[in-house]
Amino acid sequence: MTAKGNGRQPKYQRIAQALKDAIKAGEYGPGDRLPGENDLMAAYQVARMTARQALGVLQNEGVAEARKGAGVFVRDFQPLRRRGIQRLAREQWGEGRSIWSADTGDRELLVDQVTVSQAAAPVAIADVLGIEPDALACVRSRRFILEGKPVLLATSFLPADLVADSMITQEDTGPGGIYARLAELGHTPVHFREEIRCRMPSRDEADRLSLSMGTPVIIIFRTAYADGGRPVEVNEMILDSAAYVLEYDVEA
């Protein structure tokens, strides 16, 4: 394994690229331990900080993960392909399937840290929902874990009077989830709008998603509209950027 690349590149970047090339070539497979700091120091005649930075690049890009007291290993978690259009199709949730099943297939998904409450929505959320700033919203917060790896934090806001006494106010919303229950209430979602941006996580977000230092998050802000254009749900999602591929298949 040699560190190739532009000589103007910092040494740690050239070492990181060499490691990624070795992984791509099959020299290191999923779950394999990568050379440690001492190994890289000896192989490339660099300082410990340079070796540490090189391994940090792979962790930040989601290629590798550190295991306390054991070293840095090639990540064996396969990114989740989020099919942004198929997952929201009415035939998905309308037939009692979770919108997640369009993404996960047979992979094991767990939802934990579920809380449901009534609270005043943040001003920006209330504005999108078209409710007064002091009006109550049903707030549903949960964390999604795929194959043991936290991948997403989601918080949904719905007008409290719209969903009162429905299963949406319970932890388990039943087959088809929130959108199927909204349809039963006569507020079938007919249109969705998503806004996407990236930023660095807060400390709490990094802890809850078990993120490596330097890993950004993807923010997806989705609004569901019923017939007539009424907003019925706003969902703010925080994704581990290293755990996702965002796919949008659009007909021309």
The structure tokens listed for 204 are: 């709490």
What are residue 245's DSSP bridge partners?
A: 81
CATH code of the region 11-74:
1.10.10.10
* Topology of the domain covering 80-247: Chorismate lyase (3.40.1410)
- Is the predicted pLDDT of residue 119 greater than 70, yes or no? yes
Task: Give the pLDDT of residue 222.
Answer: 95
CA distance 197 to 46: 37
Task: Give the pLDDT of residue 5.
Answer: 55
Q: What is the DSSP string of 91-151?
A: HHHTTT--TTHHHHTTS-EEEEEEEEEEEEPPHHHHHHHT--TTSEEEEEEEEEEETTEEE
Residue pLDDT, tens place only, 196-252: 999 999 999 999 998 877 789 999 999 999 999 999 999 999 999 988 888 888 888
172 confidence band (pLDDT: 50, 70, 90): very high
Every domain range in the chain assigned CATH 3.40.1410.10: 80-247
CA torsion, ordered 185, 121, 219, 216, to nearest 10 deg: -140
pTM: predicted TM-score of the whole model, two decimal places:
0.78
Task: Give the pLDDT of residue 7.
Answer: 61
SS3 state at 237: strand
CA torsion sign for 37, 38, 42, 47 is positive
Q: Burial of 76 by CB count in 10 Å (0-12 exposed, 13-18 middle, 19+ buried)?
A: exposed
174 confidence band (pLDDT: 50, 70, 90): very high
Cβ neighbours of residue 185 closer than 8 Å, sequence gap 6 or more: 162, 163, 166
CA distances from 44 to 4, 70, 201, 244 (A): 12, 22, 33, 33
Arithmetic mean of pLDDT over the chain: 90
